Structure 1
Amino acid sequence: MNRAAEETWRARIRGCLLGGAIGDALGAPVEFDSGRSIVAAHPDRLRTFVSGSAGWPPGTITDDTQMTLFTIEGLIRAGVRTDRGIGFTVAVVHHAYDRWLDTQTLPGPSGERDGWLQGEQWLYARRAPGNTCLSALTTARKGEPKIEQFGAPAENDSKGCGGVMRVAPFGLLPSTWFERDWVFDAAADAAGYTHGHPTGKLASGALAVIVREICEGADLNTALDAAAAVLTQRPRHEETSAALAAARKLAATAPGHGPVTVEQLGGGWVAEEALAIGVYAALAYPEPEQFLDALALSVTHTGDSDSTGAICGNILGALHGETALPPELVFAIEGRPVILELADDFALEFTKPSRLHGDYNPDRRWRTRYPGW
């Protein structure tokens, strides 16, 4: 990766993570409102952070972004694991979700966990976490955490959107290290730690491939073609494939219409619908200067507005990079320093030149910051 390509990739990483957080925070206050009531309160669609019924301050993120941050922290740790000669395994991300579970069950850092992210007090806030995630992760927890106990799929049949809303970071991994099919399957496995239905997993793999192809320089339609091609090779892909096809068709025939149009794709409570709504909004307003238009469309509907906003923000943030993000929302998003710190650490971990020669060994400070499991 040359210097120019690396800088573009870094901007895409930052854009993807920040864009997802902004979409999440934009949609969270209206998650349980009808599309009609949202439009009544915001005739030009919801385009700025507001307070919701839960009383959270404007710009507050939810469990969508919390879990996305632990996803990317887990991927960094998996990289460090490889640096140390132990081997890359997606189960490290499962262990990261176990640390996220601490933030939902404890009042603050216990001092018994390693790494730095779990020490961030502001993450210890319950922001409407999905019951499926909480239940599956609690079931997977067996005493003192060890890497061997992680990596098993959830024993449920849920296809809720709690898997797809957190896996975009898999698409940010550099293609020099990870092939397209691996990215799809790894993201699907990560979603499967909490959501056992094939559609919940396949929609997650599809999102990761969309982000990956965009990071490789593809436009959105080409990235969607690539995701569709991988999907058709997987058993029981039909629901996810049909949802993406419907989003593309709707964007071609009714781009930028209001909540009634969006709701033809569903409410976003399940994985394939959340992905379809995020994709539709991104296709309806694909240009950098239309970023806020797309986010506003993605959250203005009767349904899971924070998850659909997060997915749309992940996609367009990766497509356009951080400079296309609405500055007034970037400035106000909760946790911005930590989000950017993780983005830059992720880029650092996967661009160390000596790794290409197999002789890299991270120093003690980095291994303390990101232990290998």
Structure 2
Amino acid sequence: MLDIAEELNRWVEQGREFAVATVVAVGGSAPRQPGAALAVDSAGTAIGSVSGGCVEGAVYELCQQALETGSTVLERFGYSDEDAFAVGLTCGGVIDILVTPLRADAPSREVYVAALAAAARGVSAAVARITDGPDELLGRALLVRADGSYEGTLGGHPELDRTAVGNASAMLDAGRTGTVEIGEDGSLCGRPLTLLVESSVPPPRMIVFGAIDFASALVRVGKLLGYQVTVCDARPVFATAVRFPEADEIVIDWPHRYLKSTEVDSRTVLCVLTHDAKFDVPLLELALTLPVAYVGAMGSRRTHLDRNARLREVGVTELELARLRSPIGLDLGARTPEETALSIAAEIVAHRRGGTGVPLTGAHTPIHHNGSQGPVGRIGSVA
């Protein structure tokens, strides 16, 4: 739901009533992950998506029915062996969809409204709601903020709210979206309730070091993937807004000095394109000690070997060197800056998702991996 928060927040401000269908569980080869949503307002306007298009029509009708009845509905869609054209996922997967009407009389409307407003403003927040349990509790939600405060209730035992807040806070800290099972009384045993925790956090950072043509192409691809992109170079003649119009930030500073002063986290990716030892070595010496998601460095294999030798000389350990993706990118046979940027982005996605990078044709690996999610957090299940 939070993936379409900006538009839904506008609907709220306009006084519209609407229903939201959210993917709350998946199995097999499903096209969308938990948190993906489709919303329909009382006038029949629809935004978002919960599949590759195969069940959108049926989900649209469920949203309209939910708006009429005011009832929250949990529906499962899967592949039909008898009729491949029946309403279902012809890719062979299964998805559970929770349809929640956000009418004026909805039990947790204020919580959902607050969550949409926070996500639309780019404020870190998580919404936890019951997606499997007693019918009267389906869709009940609470909102958890980064400071640990919360509002709303799941409608059960007070310990249930405390347990939900604890789990949601942990997932928000990690920027994760996923499910958790807890007992109705808040314990981890007994009759379980399933909660979907959706985290909305500011976009992850991509810091590109080296204001070269390859960096310009990488900035464009980084923005396409949802990163907040910074370009850093010590040379003011090259690090300009004219050369990098799509960058969110351009920093003129020595790369290692800037990296030492800026904030990074476990979702940050660092792409070192400086290709110059006086920049690379002090920068990578620091970068490889930081808890970031990805560190890649451009250069030929000869440059890579020379750079590794220099890094060892300044005290970089073998364990730290093992984190370095160098030469940067996947082997796509890339030649142009755009092709090289694509190979770098492909490696970042494969690294994040747990992909192999091999062609899917003839392979027997899963198409959809249960790896971490990108800009909006990690998708997974917590038992």
Q: Does the TM-score normalized on the shorter chain lie above 0.5?
A: no
TM-score by length of 1: 0.28
Structure that is richer in helix per residue: 1
| TM-score, length-scaled by structure 2 | 0.27
**Greater share of strand residues, 1 or 2?**
2
Computing the radius of gyration from Cα coordinates, the structure with the larger value is: 2
